[in-house]
């Protein structure tokens, strides 16, 4: 059975605030990167069978896979990447969006990634990849 990501926060806003507070604990981006990499190491195991083109997020420099499951009125996500820093970014994105309603997901644009300074601190290709993850999650939330 696949384990989906379950965030500790009760809303997208609470998750974004918590992530901002955690990142602010570090004085420089090298320490923040280490923190983000550690988050990626804590992701639930991602099924090897789902590391395919159906689940692959297009637009990411690294390999990134996302899967979703509806549970009541909420969507649960799981994801993985073949790159350590990107796996951490997957964990951050899932922390914001997993376990939320479609409406809450769609009401939370990826702008928070800029507000937290994540996009500016990443290479252009990684920044585009994170934006592609958010767009994929939004597309899943828009689907019937």
Residue 129's pLDDT is: 81
Q: Which residues are catalytic?
A: 60
Q: pTM score, two decimals?
A: 0.92
Q: Write out pLDDT tens, residues 90-131.
A: 999 999 999 999 999 999 999 998 888 887 777 666 767 888
Cβ proximity of 75 and 93 under 8 Å: no
pLDDT attached to residue 117 = 83
Is 79 inside a domain boundary? yes
pLDDT of residue 60: 75
Cα separation values, 60 from 21, 90, 124, 125, Å: 27, 11, 10, 7
Regions in the chain scoring below 50 on pLDDT: none
Of 86, 75, 87, give the one whose Cα is nearest residue 12: 75
pLDDT at 135: 95
- Residue 2 in any domain: the answer is no
In a domain, 20, yes or no: yes
CA separation (Å) from 5 to 29, 39, 94? 25, 12, 7
Q: How is residue 70 written in tokens? A: 């509806």
- Whole-number Å distance between alpha carbons of 13 and 32: 20
Can you give the pLDDT at residue 125? 66
Domain-embedded: residue 36 = yes
Number of domains forming the structure of the chain:
1
**Model pLDDT, residue 140:** 97
Domain housing 20: 12-142
């Amino acid at each position: 059975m696949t384990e989906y990501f379950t965030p500790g926060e009760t809303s997208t806003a609470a998750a974004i605030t918590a992530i901002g507070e955690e990142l602010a604990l570090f004085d420089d981006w090298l320490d923040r990167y280490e923190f983000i990499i550690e988050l990626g190491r804590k992701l639930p195991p991602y099924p090897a069978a789902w590391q395919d083109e159906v689940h692959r997020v297009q637009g990411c420099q690294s390999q990134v896979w996302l899967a979703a499951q509806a549970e009541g009125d909420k969507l649960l996500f799981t994801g993985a990447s073949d790159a350590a820093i990107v796996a951490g970014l997957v964990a951050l994105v899932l922390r914001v969006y997993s376990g939320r309603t479609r409406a809450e997901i769609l009401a939370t644009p990826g702008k928070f990634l800029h507000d937290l300074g994540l996009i500016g601190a990443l290479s252009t290709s990684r920044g585009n990849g994170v934006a592609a993850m958010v767009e994929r999650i939004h597309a899943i939330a828009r689907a019937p």
